Amino acid sequence: MNTTKKIIMMLALAFGLASCGGDATQSSSSKKGAMASTNAAEAVYVAPGEHDEFYSFMSGGFSGQLSVYGLPSGRLLKVIPVFSVDGEKGYGFNEETKPLLETSYGFVPWDDAHHPELSQTDGVPDGRYIFINGNNTPRIARIDLTTFETAEIIEIPNSGGNHSSPFITENSEYVVAGTRFSVPIPQADVAISSYKDNFKGALSFVSIDPDHGHMEVAFQVLLPGFDYDLAHAGKGKSHGWMFFTSYNTEESHTLKEVNASQNDKDYIAAINWKKAEEYLAAGKGKDMPADFLINRYDEKTHMATSHKRNSVKVLLPEDCPGLIYYLPTPKSPHGVDVDPTGSYIVGNGKLNANLTVHSFDKMIKAIENESFAGNVEGIPVLNFEDVVEATVESGGLGPLHTEFDGKGNAYTTFFISSEVVKWSLETFQVLDRIPTYYSVGHLMIPGGDSKKPWGKYLVALNKITKDRYLPTGPELAHSAQLYDISGDKMKLLLDFPTIGEPHYAQAIHADVVKGNSKKIYSLEENEHPYVTKTEADSRVEREGNQVHIYMTAIRSHLAPDNIEGIQVGDEVYFHVTNLEQDWDVPHGLSVMGAQNAELLIMPGQTETLKWVPTKSGVFPFYCTDFCSALHQEMQGYIRVSPKGTNTPILSTVGE
């Protein structure tokens, strides 16, 4: 990985030198971008107290989280913990959220989150959920956009490196999960050099329940052991198809930067998932043993629960003719992007200068004519010339991703030449280009991978930051750049740093989401097994060496706030219910010496902090969220006696 980065940076350097050999002053002023564009500040200025026009959901990349930014201001609104524990919110530390991070490997406290994907209705983001993939230990998370909290995490079996995920179909029927690293299926202790014989690539279709959003692995398609990199669903006329890019069709297992870059063309795999449904209904799916977990958070009990699954339905291409075709696409295609009409499938060959645009109509025609160039392990390969609509002569190098403005234009990022190129879906000619700072990966136009983009802004999500901000030592925040794309020429408006790596992002008009955002949880509807709904019910109960503290929090005291009868080595559970029913009055709880994080409890919610005291004495606990004028008084003491003593249970407040 490091070597790859080095090589790419060297290439970038080489091209940088070649392309901007102008005088130093010029290049430094042009680096400030079209900042000259006098009204840039005005365009991104959102006055104090005013709201942004768009919610932008940016992946935290290797932070494992999902961040929410307002556009056009670039203001950070929230970091939603998803795949990584977060002490700030007690996520993965409190008893309620721990199950969300459980996997078949046990508790995994981190992942690499790449692609946020909004749920869609009729091909348009509907603002109900946003999904994001965990790349390292293959998972998909669903975040509920009424609470902006992680509601579910499903583990993907038979997968390794869940990168081509979680791209969604136009009515949120499925999110997909293609494996970037093929692995032995089922997992087996085999020689790595037996890759070609033993390794397979699984593409998973994860169904989404239309009512409550619950995910299940509906089926998997087992394919040759390539690296399946990215995906996008067909839309409109191509609805019912899913397209995955692949590289390493060489099926190498070592030094892939060289060995996986040998074939002139790799494939885009076109999967007819409607056909897959027919094959499943006809009983062609094979049950394959697979251990994985689905973790669901219940908003009424305020708890997550892990559900075990033991098998998965698998479709094999040889049993299912017409299920899958390979479209030859030059130079290790990375992103595969489908235009708003569903007519064109853009393959971004990352080691190429040009872009390949396939035609869906031509693909269907070639399939009908059975005009095949051959097959790979029984999978028909179409003729490149039969399916290609156009090759865009970009003038850049290293295309990665393309999004659309809904006005007949496409925008493609070029990592190596560090720029965004705008081109026409009619003439396939380049219309405009603008530099990015530096080495852009994904780009995002609000709704830009849907049927109806809001084609006003474009955000470049950059991999390299260097000198863009005040230096902060060797490690720098990654950078995002906002461009105005409403006119003929793209204009740079704003630079802003992001958390982790802003790998990919999606954005949606604020009006679709903001009205559904919850302010509190109803205390009346709280079904947590350890809820305490009134202060009068607060108490301490001992069960063997477990002590359950039923605690309430309300401005500005905790009840009970004097607790005795705890012994060293007890398992002490603080079940704290926030009795508030007012907007933006969270309470926190922290306990001195607890090898744990704080709790951060929203109004009407119950959360549990587990503490195993290691020393006897009297220890303070307090509210951590500045809740009120008497927040500093919101504190209490818990007395821990040596093991075996018989200090009676005491649970009081105000006595």
Partner 1 sequence: MKSSARWLTILAVGLLCMLFFYPLWRITLEAPQYPEGVTMYIWINQITGDSPGTLQNINILNHYVGMKYIEPDSIPELTYFPYIVAALGLFGLLAAFINKPKVYLFWAITFLTLAAAGIFDFYLWEYDYGHNLSDTAPIKVPGQAYQPPLIGSKMLLNFNAISYPATGGIAMGIGLFLSFVSYFISKRFSKKST
Binder to partner 1 among 51, 309, 555, 610 (CB under 8 A)? Answer: 555
3-state secondary structure of 430: strand
Nearer to partner 1, 553 or 589 (CB): 553
> Residue 127 and residue 450: Cα distance in Å, rounded?
13
> Residue 371 and residue 327: Cα distance in Å, rounded?
12
Nearest by Cα to 477 from 437, 516, 513, 449: 437
Nearer to partner 1, 536 or 629 (CB): 629
3-state secondary structure of 483: strand
Query: CB burial class (10 A; 0-12, 13-18, 19+) of residue 234?
Result: buried
Nearer to partner 1, 207 or 628 (CB): 628
The CA radius of gyration of the chain, in Å to the nearest whole number, is 27
Nearer to partner 1, 337 or 580 (CB): 580
The distance between the two most distant Cα atoms of the chain, rounded to a whole number of Å, is: 87
Nearer to partner 1, 144 or 580 (CB): 580
What is the spatial order of strands in the sheet that 419-424 belongs to? 399-404, 409-414, 419-424, 430-435
Nearer to partner 1, 367 or 554 (CB): 554
Nearest by Cα to 562 from 442, 477, 624, 647: 647
Nearest by Cα to 346 from 423, 261, 432: 423
- Give the nearest distance from C-beta 588 to partner 1 in angstroms: 17
- Between the alpha carbon of residue 124 and those of residues 170, 234, 236, 447, 450, the distances in Å are 7, 13, 11, 7, 6
- Segment contacting partner 1 by CB under 8 A, of 175-183, 191-199, 484-492, 624-632: 624-632
Nearer to partner 1, 603 or 613 (CB): 603
- Between the alpha carbon of residue 655 and those of residues 41, 161, 553, the distances in Å are 58, 57, 17
Nearest by Cα to 396 from 371, 417, 422: 417
Tell me the one-letter amino acid at 358: H
Nearest by Cα to 228 from 353, 351, 105, 326: 326
- Give the nearest distance from C-beta 581 to partner 1 in angstroms: 3
- Between the alpha carbon of residue 204 and those of residues 245, 327, 381, the distances in Å are 14, 19, 21
Binding pattern to partner 1, positions 95-114, x when CB under 8 A?
--------------------
- Give the nearest distance from C-beta 562 to partner 1 in angstroms: 18
Binding pattern to partner 1, positions 570-599, x when CB under 8 A?
---------xxxx-----------------
- Segment contacting partner 1 by CB under 8 A, of 141-149, 299-307, 330-338, 627-635: 627-635
- Give the nearest distance from C-beta 583 to partner 1 in angstroms: 8
- Give the nearest distance from C-beta 603 to partner 1 in angstroms: 8
- Give the nearest distance from C-beta 555 to partner 1 in angstroms: 5
In degrees, rounded to 5, the angle at the alpha carbon of residue 37 between the alpha carbons of residues 32 and 40 is 90
- Give the nearest distance from C-beta 654 to partner 1 in angstroms: 10
Tell me the one-letter amino acid at 125: P
- Between the alpha carbon of residue 129 and those of residues 121, 324, 522, 639, the distances in Å are 11, 29, 21, 45
Nearer to partner 1, 541 or 633 (CB): 633
> Residue 606 and residue 574: Cα distance in Å, rounded?
10
Residue 554 interacts with partner 1 (CB under 8 A): yes or no: yes
In degrees, rounded to 5, the angle at the alpha carbon of residue 311 between the alpha carbons of residues 308 and 315 is 145
Residues listed for the chain: 655
Binder to partner 1 among 407, 630, 645, 649 (CB under 8 A)? Answer: 630
Nearer to partner 1, 77 or 364 (CB): 77
Binding pattern to partner 1, positions 462-501, x when CB under 8 A?
----------------------------------------
- Give the nearest distance from C-beta 510 to partner 1 in angstroms: 17
- Give the nearest distance from C-beta 630 to partner 1 in angstroms: 6
Centre a 10 Å sphere on the Cβ of residue 560 and count the other Cβ atoms it contains: 24
Binding pattern to partner 1, positions 381-420, x when CB under 8 A?
----------------------------------------
Residue 51 interacts with partner 1 (CB under 8 A): yes or no: no
Nearer to partner 1, 381 or 520 (CB): 520
> Residue 552 and residue 654: Cα distance in Å, rounded?
14
Q: Are strands 149-155 and 265-272 parallel, antiparallel or unpaired?
A: unpaired
Query: Which residues 505-544 are close enough to bind partner 1 by CB under 8 A?
Result: 520, 522-524
- Give the nearest distance from C-beta 51 to partner 1 in angstroms: 13
Residue 653 interacts with partner 1 (CB under 8 A): yes or no: no
Nearer to partner 1, 283 or 583 (CB): 583
> Residue 413 and residue 443: Cα distance in Å, rounded?
7
- Give the nearest distance from C-beta 584 to partner 1 in angstroms: 9
Nearer to partner 1, 171 or 581 (CB): 581
Nearer to partner 1, 441 or 603 (CB): 603
- Give the nearest distance from C-beta 69 to partner 1 in angstroms: 23
Q: Which residues contact 203 (CB under 8 A, 6 or more apart)?
A: 164, 176, 177, 178, 179, 220, 221, 223, 228, 242, 244, 269, 271
- Give the nearest distance from C-beta 557 to partner 1 in angstroms: 10
C-alpha 98, offset from chain centre: 19
Nearer to partner 1, 195 or 622 (CB): 622
CB 502 within 8 A of CB 132: no
Q: Are strands 409-414 and 571-578 parallel, antiparallel or unpaired?
A: unpaired
- Give the nearest distance from C-beta 74 to partner 1 in angstroms: 24
Nearer to partner 1, 3 or 534 (CB): 534
Binding residues for partner 1, rule CB under 8 A, total 15
Q: Kindly state the DSSP code that residue 189 receives in the 8-state scheme.
A: -
Sign of the CA dihedral running 596, 602, 603, 604: negative
Residue 629 interacts with partner 1 (CB under 8 A): yes or no: yes
Query: Which residues 602-621 are close enough to bind partner 1 by CB under 8 A?
Result: 603
Nearer to partner 1, 385 or 582 (CB): 582
φ and ψ of 95, to 5 deg = -65, -30
> Residue 480 and residue 507: Cα distance in Å, rounded?
14
- Give the nearest distance from C-beta 564 to partner 1 in angstroms: 25
- Give the nearest distance from C-beta 587 to partner 1 in angstroms: 12
- Segment contacting partner 1 by CB under 8 A, of 121-129, 162-170, 591-599, 625-633: 625-633
Nearer to partner 1, 7 or 630 (CB): 630
Cα first-last separation, the chain: 63
- Segment contacting partner 1 by CB under 8 A, of 22-30, 196-204, 509-517, 623-631: 623-631
- Segment contacting partner 1 by CB under 8 A, of 281-289, 378-386, 472-480, 622-630: 622-630
- Give the nearest distance from C-beta 621 to partner 1 in angstroms: 20
What residues line the site for partner 1 (CB under 8 A)?
A: 520, 522-524, 554-555, 579-582, 603, 628-630, 633
